[in-house]
Each structure stands twice: as structure tokens, then as C-alpha cells.
Amino acid sequence: MHMEDLLLAIRAIEDNPRRFLDRGTRPYNTDLVCSDLKRAYMSWQFNVKPLVDFFSQDLRKLITKRDGGGHDRRKPKAYFTVSVTSKGNFALDWYPREYVSKHYDDLGDWLMWSDARGMGGDWLPENRLLFVRGFGDLLKSLKNEDKGRVTGDGEDDWQDETTKRLVLAMRNLLDNIYEFLGGYVEVVHFSDFVVEHHGASIACGIVQYEDDTEELEKIG
């Protein structure tokens, strides 16, 4: 698993002499994003367990007989959406069907699926694979220059580079998750977090694949 970008972002934060002095003026909480990304890198394998559990899959729909004898088994389809919550957090969720609804009468290729929360409603939904607090605020800061978008010059160079590293770390994490799940399910995207490279700069944004109109935000 590639963690180089995340480790470089952490080093940039810890080595910055103004780390604590300017915490209140940052457009997003770099310490929080780094902390949650580290946790996500270590915990996502547990969150995807329902997707790789054969007992969750409807084998009656997945296994077909061959004309010459024997059987074929296809991968179940799973649909993924990337979003930013109302509190500015980044989330990756999965669904069993090609539409998003609170109630599913038909679970497609699956026998079990739920988006219910745990006791008290404080825990994450059961279909949430990834949750990083503050990353939505990072993306929002790139869209609003008046609220602290860094320009990459002078004493704020460290923050521009840190933002870039955190964006790349998120993209690498998603790549790891999709690559792993691709061995078990057919991965279909409702939306995704996209990063494009433009020389030394990168552009990023959440793309909705049904309309593909989200403008990417440039960094660097």
C-alpha cells in the first residue's frame, strides 16, 4: 500500500514552525485530516468485509450452468459513491443497486445490505467504507480563495505542498480499496474523487458520472 504522500504530508505539518500559531487561520484542519487518513489506511480492510463475504451474496443470481456442463460464476455488482457530508467530511459508501434509496425491495446480487447506524445513531452507517473528517473542508477551501486558498509562494509554501500530498494520499487510498475489491466484485461508480496531473500542479474534484459536470479544482 502506498503511503508516501501521506507520510510526506505528516512530516510537512510536524516540521512547520508555525504549526500551532496559525492553526486557527488554516482553511482546513490539517492535523485532523492526517489523523483520519492514517486511521483509514489501517481500518478499511475491516469495513469492506461485507463485500467479500460469500454469505452476503445471492449465489442463485451469480451462478449459471454451462451448456456443455459445469457452472460459471460472475462477480456481484456493487455501486460506489463518494460524497462530502454536511459537516465537511469525506465519505465512501456502497450500494447494492444502480439507484440510491433508503429502502430496497430488491438487493440485486446481494442477500444482505444495510445503511443503518449503530446504537444511538452516532456510529457510521453500515455501508460506509471510508470516512475522513475535514477532507471536505480541504476541497471547499480550494474553491474559495477568499477563505485562505494558498498561492504556493512565500511562507505558505508548506501548506500548498501539504494539501497536494493529502489529495494524492486520498486518491492512493481509494485506488487501493478499488483494486482490492475488484478481485471480489464488479466495481461500478456513481461518483468518484478524481485527480488530474498538470505538470507540477494537480487538479481534483468529485465527479458525478451521471452528468460528469463537476469542475476540478487546481492545486499548486
Could you count the other beta carbons within 10 Å of the beta carbon of residue 78? 24
Q: What pLDDT score was predicted for residue 120?
A: 52
Could you count the other beta carbons within 10 Å of the beta carbon of residue 158? 17
Q: Which of 41-50, 65-74, 165-174 has the lowest mean pLDDT?
A: 65-74
Q: Which are the contacts of 5, defined by CB distance < 8 A and separation ≥ 6? A: 165, 166, 168, 169, 172
* C-beta separation of 100 from 113 below 8 A: no
Q: What pLDDT digit, counting tens, does each position of 197-211 carry?
A: 777 777 888 888 865
Cα–Cα distance list, 17 to 14, 28, 32, 35, 161 (Å)? 8, 18, 18, 19, 15
Is the pLDDT confidence value at 41 over 60? yes
C-alpha cell at 199: 505538470
Q: What pLDDT digit, counting tens, does each position of 147-173 carry?
A: 333 333 334 444 577 788 888 889 989
